[in-house]
């Protein structure tokens, strides 16, 4: 699981769910930004989010709401295609938000609210 760049926690667990902090496309081993395109970065964000969910005993299938922050909403279709690979059967509610900038110069950040099993 990647370490958040600003020192905030990756999750907050108010029952019965967990709020997963925004994940930017950092390689969990090097801490470096991964991906040249917004779609490539979205894949890494989702991989990081998947790791945060796993650490809490959940999966992305347990997500009930996802927010995607993008510095270029013109790339929405490409990011949406990448996102669809992770949420094929029953996708959670989603919001896409255009922002001026993201940490470390990322083009995409994704957070989630996840229903914890059990």
Per-residue pLDDT tens over the stretch 98-108: 999 999 999 99
- Please give the structure tokens belonging to residue 64: 């009930």
The DSSP result for 71-97, as a single string, is S-GGGHHHHHHHHHHHS-SSPPEEEEE
**Report field, pTM of the whole predicted structure over 0.85:** yes
> 2-35: per-residue pLDDT in tens?
555 555 455 545 556 677 889 999 999 999 999 9
Q: Where would I find the H helices in the chain? A: 38-55, 76-86
Contact 19, 52 (CB under 8 A): no
Could you tell me which residues are beta bridge partners of residue 66? 94, 112
> 41-87: per-residue pLDDT in tens?
999 999 999 999 998 889 999 999 999 999 999 999 999 999 999 99
């Amino acid at each position: 699981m990647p370490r958040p760049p600003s020192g905030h926690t990756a999750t907050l667990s108010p029952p019965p769910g967990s709020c997963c902090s925004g994940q930017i496309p950092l390689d969990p081993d090097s801490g470096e930004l991964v991906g040249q395109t917004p779609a490539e970065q979205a894949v890494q964000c989702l991989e990081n989010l998947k790791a945060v969910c796993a650490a809490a005993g959940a999966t992305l299938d347990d997500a009930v709401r996802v927010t995607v922050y993008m510095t270029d909403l013109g790339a929405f279709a490409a990011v949406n295609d990448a996102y669809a690979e992770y949420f094929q059967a029953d996708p959670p509610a989603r919001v896409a938000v255009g922002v001026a900038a993201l940490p470390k110069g990322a083009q995409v950040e994704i957070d989630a609210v996840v229903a914890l099993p059990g």
